Amino acid sequence: MQTTKEKFKKATRKSTTIDIVRERKNGSTKRDREKGEGFTSLQFPSHDILAYVFEPIPLVANQVECLLDTLSRKKRKKNHKELYLTVKNYLAVLGKEIQTTLTDNFLNDLNNLYAELSKALVNQMVNVCFDYDGFYFVLYSAHQVESYFYHLLICVIGTFSEPMQNLFRRFLHFFMSTQKIVSVFDHYYYGWVIDTVLEEQAEICKADGDEILANDYEQLIKTYDQVELIFKEINNIQTSREEIICLANELVISKIDEKEYKIVEVIKNFVELLAQDCIMNYDYNEEDCGEILDSMFNNVPVGVHRIYAVIWDDNDMLSDEVFEMMNNECGEFGIQMPTSYVRLNPQSKMFIPGDYPERFTSNFMQLIDLLNA
């Protein structure tokens, strides 16, 4: 049986968002910026940032001016100064002095501030974003997590002893509620396939005279009707970290087999971690430029909220349909793994990403491996 990892092909990132203050060469991405590659503008000598004259980019300049036109003169002036103070403050945090001097040209100043801040960062990136209060900078850092679909399958629950089933159901509720991870029925891809594709495929097979395959689809639909009841029961459970740890400790000293014992140990450690943070707090798209700008673009990488899910099985026609869809979309638009980020302001402190996504993934994969064993 193919595992979730085996089904997923690592996606090649494709950038689709137009940068608001710079122009790209064909095929370049934000990762290229780390190497100093991929741009036809904003290239400047490393020894003297202010010696470079930024050439205006008509399309980009027009975009910025259109956005600035939505701001009042007072708000525009305030935003201009705040961007300067934000960069000045963060450069000071990094032990550097700002070199950019404000002028009356908002676009040039925005370019200069972005370039100077970006140049000062190490192993971090910066975005220029826009909302109804104006432009702002966001620092972000992608975590070292492999690009896979992290789907927790639970069809093995029927093989557990009754006490273990009780513990596992409570763990699933805690896992989903604290991490904001959805079941197959609420997932972007799975939900659509369940609601639409399965019945359509059954009808198509019948029309084509393939009664065997049509019956397979109909049986799958009936299976997921039952699975939906299981997830509803899990959603209605009331539990806590303390209760799960208590139940886990009771199981450890009772007579359970070796596999269940190993799963219990992972659950105990995982629950302690889950109580500390939420993986969806790291759902940041590196092409994110704020709500207003993002509304202009539809082609964005597949985000964290889509690569994590609690599913029933990864070896049925439903998962085959979904994995094919996700692989195609990731291959076309790329995939965004967990990313730490912070919106800068004139009082920002040092941005130091934690390691929650790495620890979360380690525990998650331990559990997946045991469930698949």
26-84 residue pLDDT tens? 333 333 434 333 322 222 233 333 333 333 333 366 777 788 888 888 999 999 999 99
Q: Is residue 72 part of a domain?
A: yes
Q: Is residue 127 part of a domain?
A: yes
The model scores a pTM over 0.75: yes
* Residue 327: per-residue pLDDT: 87
Q: Is residue 311 part of a domain?
A: no
Tokens of residue 113, six digits: 């501030």
* Amino acid letter, 288: D
Give the end-to-end CA distance of the chain in Å, rounded to a whole number. 11
Tokens of residue 156, six digits: 């093995």
User: What are the DSSP calls for 282-315, one per residue?
Assistant: G---TT---HHHHTT-----B-HHHHEEEES-SS
C-alpha dihedral over 315, 318, 320, 325, to 10 degrees?
A: -150
By DSSP bridging, strand 308-311 and strand 150-153 are parallel
Q: How far apart are CA 168 and CA 163, in angstroms?
A: 9
Q: How far apart are CA 18 and CA 39, in angstroms?
A: 12
Q: How far apart are CA 258 and CA 294, in angstroms?
A: 50
Q: Domain residues for 34?
A: 30-142
Element counts in the chain: helices (H) and strands (E): 15, 5
Residue in 243, 267, 233 with CA at minimum distance from that of residue 368: 267
Structural domain count of the chain: 1
What single-letter DSSP state applies at residue 183?
B
Q: Is residue 108 part of a domain?
A: yes
Contact present, 371 and 339 (Cβ < 8 Å): no
Within the chain, which residues score under 70 in pLDDT?
1-61, 287-299
Q: Distances from the Cα of 280 to the Cαs of 179, 244, 303, 330, 338, in angstroms?
A: 6, 22, 10, 19, 8
Q: Is residue 85 part of a domain?
A: yes
Tokens of residue 247, six digits: 């139940």
Count other Cβ atoms within 10 Å, centred on residue 324: 12
Residue in 301, 305, 299 with CA at minimum distance from that of residue 334: 301
The distance of Cα 323 from the centroid of its chain, to the nearest Å, equals: 17
Q: Residue 342 belongs to what H/E stretch?
A: strand 339-343
Burial label for 1, CB within 10 Å (0-12, 13-18, 19+), is: exposed
C-alpha dihedral over 160, 161, 166, 169, to 10 degrees?
A: 0
* Residue 80: per-residue pLDDT: 95
